[in-house]
Amino acid sequence: MSTASLVSLDGEPREFISRAFAPGGLVSRFVPGFEERPEQVEMALSVWETLSVGGRLMVEAGTGVGKSLAYLIPAVLWCYRTTKRVIISTHTVNLQEQLVSRDVPLVSGMFAALGFSFEHMLFKGRKHYLCTRRWRQAYADVVQKTALVVANEDEEAAEALSDLIAKGAWDGDRDRLPRPIPDGVWADVCSEGDRCMSAKCQHKDSCLYQKHRKRLDKCHVIVVNHALFAADLAIHKETQGQAGLLPGHEAVIFDEAHHLEDVIRDSLGIEVSPSRLKRLADDTVRLISSGSFQKGVTREVARRLRTSLDDFTSAVSGILQKAGSRSGSAAAREKQRLRDPDLIGEDAPKWLRQFSAEVGAWEELDLSDEERFEVQSLRRRYAALASDLDSINTLEGDGDSFVYWSEKDAGPRRAQVVLRKFPLEVGPYLQEHLWSSLPSAVLTSATLATDAKFDYMKRMLALDTTGELVLGSPFDFHEQACLCVPSDSRSQDVNSPPFNDYVAQKVLEIVDMTSGRAFVLFTSRKSMEKVAELVRDRVEEKGYPFLKQGDLPRDALLSEFRERGNAVLFGLDSFWEGVDVPGDALSCVVLAKLPFPVPDDPIMEAREELWRAQGLVPFAHYSLPLATLKLKQGFGRLIRSKADRGAVVLLDPRIATKSYGRSILRSLPPARLTFDIEDVAAAVPPVHRTRTGS
């Protein structure tokens, strides 16, 4: 390709961007069949303006805008012009893979043709990488065990991993292993912040995690997920800016930004669980059974310690179970708010501090540097767990700053009760520790605005002054899709048990019209299971494969759905977004109910109480905007290209009968609205037609 015909990187930036997306421009030379989209150009120019001048920009980019290229091209141009670095943060693995395997290399080729080769990489949380020190410890145990007995499945996985490491053909990233490794094996060998010896580690020169981190210093563009970005932010806060996971940067682009609030909240929460305690106890026993401890700690002392830890773990598990069942009939719920202090009692934190002190005394033994570090790490972990129990015991800041709850967490063998503490609002934290110091930030998603306004997201994220851009989809939704709210739904009470029977009836009608090829999305697992029970056999009798979330892993379900071509898939939250199904396999999306947040969710409950005290109306302030954004996500599963055709069927009549329904409808793509269920048959493509996916 001749570079003479391409515009110069040193020319006027806005002209460069406009010409890059124009017919015959830079993008079209690398993307066969590329069509200019005014929405994409407008977004790219706005991103450039924000990066070059500074400030915040919120962009809702409808399906088909091509937002990845719309922010990557101005971002790389900005890196070239300023020699500065940009972080791109996403929420889902799917988008990360799209960026790293397709979009970023594509843009890299474009700029290389103009003489600028920029460095880029995907960086993951440290638990994705192998710790050489921990690996050597764990593998030594495997060698010792397998010298006497036949290796079990986990030990065979460790031996296979050893062969791979010995060949030097692997970079330490779990996701790049040639075959999966059991979670239990990986948990014993992955890199962890509180188990890292850093510069004191004898394996620091061969540390695989640090090799990845060092590469970051040379990168212009770094792709991470929101969880890693949140962890970096927390470390910056704790160390007053003296440490972090990411190198210095002056710009961040948050894609899938509608998830940012929840991810930040998760990063600031704590949880206490039996599995956390058991792992701590197991690590303690493993330590005193190895190396120098066998000389300094007698077998009798080690035996007593094992017994004490087993007894304590069992006792605390019982305390957690009791604390999670304190509210009588509410105990049947998966989650319930903790309102009474002293649920744990004083004994458990006291015991943990005693264990911490006893472990700390081992530092006086004749230990290696590595063993002494392990002792210090254990002592800190015992103390941290005691502190977390104290916090839950006192319910400090409950209802004002934090919310506490118990949750039944299904484990591999049996359910366990987990106690959690999370902040109610993250906006003030973001304002103090991110927005006040970050020169430029772009927040984008296909679903950020409600009724063409960003008020809700701005409130939640404490973004007072920000640029705003709402870009519709280049697709012709009126021609390509219909939204059906069946007229007979108006007689239904969506909160009554008979509504499940109505949903089942409608699903059976719809799948006949669409020849399968449908997602049926629910907001409640209980409802999904009930409707599935009612229709599964009849759907299969009609010749349509029936798939349900929970029966198989998500990726396996999607693969099966795509391959069958006429399946009916029942799904929950994770199928409302981030799912692309090419071809006619998905021609109809049935939404059982408007996705309002669950009112008895502990976080929702506590926030409603706080907002009412502040004189706000929770439904308008939170529930309605959140449901609107979620509904837009569900709708977005259907039309992914200009060739797509299909129907969205909403079985919840409130969108047509309640005053707030008009606001929701204005926020949705402008599909044809119908109340006649028979229109669905005409909206979906014929079975024989082939559809090209995006």
Average pLDDT over residues 445-464: 94
Residue 608: its pLDDT value, please? 93
The answer to whether position 42 is within a domain reads yes
Distance, in Å, from the CA atom of 79 to the CA atom of 86, rounded to the nearest integer, reads 7
Same domain, 384 and 437: no
Residue 3: its pLDDT value, please? 45
- How many domains is the chain built from? 3
Q: Is residue 118 a contact partner of residue 83, using CB atoms and an 8 Å limit?
A: no
Residue 326: its pLDDT value, please? 60
Residue 423: its pLDDT value, please? 96
Q: Is residue 76 a contact partner of residue 220, using CB atoms and an 8 Å limit?
A: yes
Same domain, 412 and 448: no
The answer to whether position 302 is within a domain reads yes
Same domain, 627 and 560: yes
* The pLDDT of residue 385 is above 90: yes
**Burial letters for 136-174: b for 16+ Cβ neighbours within 10 Å, e otherwise?**
ebbbeebeeeeeeeeeeeebebbeebeeebeeeebebeb
Same domain, 660 and 604: yes
Average pLDDT over residues 657-679: 96
Percent of the chain with pLDDT strictly greater than 90: 67
The answer to whether position 156 is within a domain reads no
How far apart, in Å, are the Cα atoms of 364 and each of 308, 368, 374? Answer: 22, 11, 13
Average pLDDT over residues 7-12: 88
Where residue 13 sits, what CATH number does that domain have?
3.40.50
Which residues have CB under 8 Å from 366's CB, separation 6+? 292, 295, 296
Residue 328: its pLDDT value, please? 44
**Tokens representing 1?**
């390709």
Assign 577 to helix, strand or coil: coil
334: how many CB neighbours lie within 10 A of its CB?
Answer: 12
Average pLDDT over residues 388-402: 93
Distance, in Å, from the CA atom of 145 to the CA atom of 198, rounded to the nearest integer, reads 29
Q: Could you give the count of Cα atoms lying within 13 Å of 483 in the half-sphere of its Cβ? A: 22
Average pLDDT over residues 361-374: 88
Same domain, 441 and 506: no
Per-chain mean pLDDT for the chain: 90
Which residue bears the tokens 């629910």? Answer: 522
The answer to whether position 238 is within a domain reads no
- Read off the pLDDT band of 324 (50, 70, 90): low
Bigger pLDDT: 538 vs 147: 538
Domain endpoint, select from 442, 471, 500? 471
116: how many CB neighbours lie within 10 A of its CB?
Answer: 16
**Domain membership of residue 20 as a residue range:** 3-119+430-471
What secondary structure, in 3-state letters, does 368-423 show?
CHHHHHHHHHHHHHHHHHHHHHHHHHHCCCECCCEEEEEEEECCCCCCEEEEEEEE
Residue 316: its pLDDT value, please? 79
* The pLDDT of residue 160 is above 90: no
- Read off the pLDDT band of 209 (50, 70, 90): very high
Residue 520: its pLDDT value, please? 98
Residue 478: its pLDDT value, please? 95
Tell me how far the alpha carbon of residue 609 is from its chain's centroid: 27
Residue 536: its pLDDT value, please? 97
Residue type, 263: V
Distance, in Å, from the CA atom of 410 to the CA atom of 421, rounded to the nearest integer, reads 19
The answer to whether position 287 is within a domain reads yes
Same domain, 336 and 465: no
Same domain, 635 and 664: yes
- Read off the pLDDT band of 1 (50, 70, 90): very low
Q: Is residue 56 a contact partner of residue 435, using CB atoms and an 8 Å limit?
A: yes
The answer to whether position 203 is within a domain reads no
Same domain, 508 and 384: no
Residue 491: its pLDDT value, please? 95
What secondary structure, in 3-state letters, does 95-119 show?
HHHHHHHHHHHHHHHHHHCCCCCCC
Q: Where are the alpha helices (DSSP H) in 104-207?
A: 104-112, 132-146, 153-167, 183-187
Distance, in Å, from the CA atom of 473 to the CA atom of 469, rounded to the nearest integer, reads 13
Residue 476: its pLDDT value, please? 94
* The pLDDT of residue 76 is above 80: yes
Distance, in Å, from the CA atom of 237 to the CA atom of 432, rounded to the nearest integer, reads 10
Distance, in Å, from the CA atom of 582 to the CA atom of 591, rounded to the nearest integer, reads 20
Same domain, 362 and 392: yes
Where residue 570 sits, what CATH number does that domain have?
3.40.50.300
pLDDT per residue over 211-255, tens digit each?
Answer: 999 999 999 999 999 999 999 999 999 998 888 999 999 999 999
Sheet containing strand 120-122, strands side by side: 120-122, 221-225, 86-90, 251-254, 440-445, 55-61, 467-471
pLDDT per residue over 98-137, tens digit each?
Answer: 899 999 999 999 999 999 999 999 999 999 999 999 998 8
- Read off the pLDDT band of 345 (50, 70, 90): confident
The answer to whether position 152 is within a domain reads no
**8-state DSSP, 184:** H
DSSP for 254-299? ETTGGGHHHHHHHHT-EEE-HHHHHHHHHHHHHHHTSTTHHHHS-H
- Read off the pLDDT band of 325 (50, 70, 90): low
**8-state DSSP, 432:** I
Residue 4: its pLDDT value, please? 40
Q: Could you give the count of Cα atoms lying within 13 Å of 175 in the half-sphere of its Cβ? A: 10
Same domain, 505 and 401: no
Distance, in Å, from the CA atom of 540 to the CA atom of 685, rounded to the nearest integer, reads 21
* The pLDDT of residue 630 is above 60: yes
Average pLDDT over residues 135-162: 85
Same domain, 504 and 521: yes
* The pLDDT of residue 321 is above 80: no
Average pLDDT over residues 302-331: 72
For the ranges 17-21, 279-283, 555-559, 642-646, the one whose mean pLDDT is highest: 17-21
Residue 692: its pLDDT value, please? 38
Which residue bears the tokens 């997602």? Answer: 519
The answer to whether position 177 is within a domain reads no
Assign 471 to helix, strand or coil: strand
Q: 404 has which bridge partners?
A: 421
Distance, in Å, from the CA atom of 62 to the CA atom of 481, rounded to the nearest integer, reads 15
Percent of the chain with pLDDT strictly greater than 70: 95
pLDDT per residue over 263-276, tens digit each?
Answer: 999 999 999 988 88
**Burial letters for 221-243: b for 16+ Cβ neighbours within 10 Å, e otherwise?**
bbbbbbbbbbbbbbbbeeeeeee
**Tokens representing 231?**
């962890």
Same domain, 415 and 310: yes
Residue 694: its pLDDT value, please? 34
Which residues have CB under 8 Å from 238's CB, separation 6+? none
